[in-house]
Amino acid sequence: MHADSSIEVQKRKRFPYSILRFRVFSYLCTASLLFFLPAKAFSSGGEEKTLNLSECVSIALDNATAPKKAQYNLKLQAADVLRRYGSFLPKLSVSGTWTPYSLSRSYTQYSDTDYTGIAKIRTESESLQFAVTTSLNIFNGFRDYAALQSAIEKKQAAGYSLSRALETVAFDVTQAYYQVLLDRELLQTARENLLSAKDQLTLTDRQYQIGLKSLVDLQQQQADAAASALTLIRAENHLKRSTLELIRRLQIDPLSKITIVPGPGELKIPSRPKLDIDSLYTLALKKRTDLKSRELEASAANWQVRESRGARLPRIDLNFSVATGGTAFLRQSVNDGPETSYPLPSLWNQLENTPGYTVALNLSWPLFDGFQTRYGVETAKIGRMNQLLDLNDLKNNIVIDIQQAAGDYDSAFSEIETAKVSLKAAESAYNGIQRKYELGASGFVELSAARAALFNARSNLSQATFNLALQKTVLDFTTGTIPLQQP
């Protein structure tokens, strides 16, 4: 019995050393892998970038696809304006044909000293023809003029659409930026709340050890600490999601690591302004680029109606052409007899001496085209009416959006004032109840409720602060005065 015990003791003494040797071997292997593996395998996002709001907006404006598409559309509209200007210029075309060898056979009435009657003529030749043709439209029912005006206004509308696309990108990035700051502030509040809960748990455990607190109080405090830890986990997850959403809007490398550092004055609470809805609406009518774009598109649609109506009027074109040609050689045979070669001037001489000129005034008037013109006019009218409906809807939406944005912005100031009062009261209440709880004069339920009220008060103040900055951005976007630095 004693021998067995000694053997067991020796095994227990040797066992930790074997574990130690195994751990040392594992650490060495891991260190070797870390040393030989390339550094890029552990670098997922590169260097961490520190960004403020203006830098985020600038990056997004450079990378966003919506402004790029709007810019491409602007280039296309500019090309269309040039095309419409070209409609007033004469069309010029040049054509030339060189026939190195031509063979033709035909029957014709033939008469000479040797033969009279129907003869088979075989002809071989080489020829060159050259022509220059130009055409100028004199009148086509003012269709070219209407098309030009429509193209000009569409180009201007595309420019305003580009500006609004840039403003939209800046607005979206600003929203995501403030959401990251808010979630980071809420995360910090959750951490402080968890530290407070852990400190209270430590104190309760000590009081339980000496008999001042019951087991129920200790378990309740443990549950409260666990709930605070869960809140922290959720806050961390919210911050990660909001950061990824910001990266999505910046359209940078998804593996990039960014840190948001607010610039000076970004979160400064301004003085409470007195908002006038009529003045804001007047400002929006002057500044909203999407409204200007809609107005120009409606005007362009009106010009398209005039262009379609022009198809009912006659079209007058002035045509002018110059043509010349020559034959290098000409050989003929009659009834498969001997060939006869005709002496011709040089090809260049023929081209110089045989030009022909044509001047023509062409009038065309489609009296009936199967109702195609009528359909085109009706299509243009419906397009114009749709544009007017969209324009009226946009104006009404601007009025409603301004009223909502102004009301939310004004309410944001009241929320901050209320949140400050609530936080001050919650801090005083929590401090008082905590002292009572430590002395045994207050229960856990009161302490837990006071801590929850304090946490909510801090969170509400953070939300109110960032909500004020966000509502100011919403008001600027609604009135078309959002600050923007175009790329």
Query: Given the structure tokens 């050689």, which residue do they identify?
Result: 329
| Cβ pair 390, 157 in contact under 8 A | no
Note the pLDDT tens digit of each residue in 362-420.
999 989 989 999 999 999 999 999 999 999 999 999 999 999 999 999 999 999 999 99
For helices 143-209 and 65-86, what crossing angle results, to 10°?
Answer: 180
Q: Among residues of the chain, what percentage have pLDDT more than 70?
A: 90
Query: Given the structure tokens 């600038």, which residue do they identify?
Result: 58
Q: Which of 268, 274, 190 is nearest to 232 (CA)?
A: 190
Question: What's the CA gap between 164 and 172, in Å, rounded?
Answer: 12
Q: Is the dihedral of CA 216, 222, 225, 226 positive or negative?
A: negative
DSSP-based three-state secondary structure for 55 = helix
Give the pLDDT mean for 57-79. 95
Give the pLDDT mean for 177-193. 91
E strand segments, 303-452: 315-334, 340-341, 356-364
- Output the pLDDT for position 485: 56
Give the pLDDT mean for 142-166. 96
What does the radius of gyration of the chain's CA atoms come to, in whole angstroms? 44
Note the pLDDT tens digit of each residue in 1-57.
444 444 343 434 443 433 333 343 343 344 343 333 333 333 344 578 899 999 999
Query: Given the structure tokens 């080489």, which residue do they identify?
Result: 126
- For residue 162, pLDDT over 60 is answered with yes
| Cβ pair 383, 301 in contact under 8 A | yes
Residue with more model confidence, 483 or 17? 483
| Cβ pair 186, 237 in contact under 8 A | no
Question: What's the CA gap between 341 and 123, in Å, rounded?
Answer: 10
Question: What's the CA gap between 187 and 191, in Å, rounded?
Answer: 6
Number of H helices, E strands in the chain: 10, 7
Average pLDDT of the residues of the chain: 85
Note the pLDDT tens digit of each residue in 423-457.
899 889 888 988 887 777 777 778 778 888 888 88
- Output the pLDDT for position 477: 94
Question: What's the CA gap between 49 and 354, in Å, rounded?
Answer: 78
Q: Among residues of the chain, what percentage have pLDDT more than 90?
A: 54
Note the pLDDT tens digit of each residue in 279-330.
999 999 999 999 999 999 999 999 999 999 999 999 999 999 999 999 887 8
Query: Given the structure tokens 């890029």, which residue do they identify?
Result: 40
Residue with more model confidence, 106 or 76? 76
- For residue 229, pLDDT over 90 is answered with yes
Q: Which of 143, 92, 86, 91 is nearest to 315 (CA)?
A: 143
Superfamily (CATH H level) for 53-89+140-314+372-479: Outer membrane efflux proteins (OEP) (1.20.1600.10)
Strands 315-334 and 116-139: antiparallel
Q: Which of 58-62, 104-108, 170-174, 375-379 is predicted least confidently?
A: 104-108
pTM: 0.79
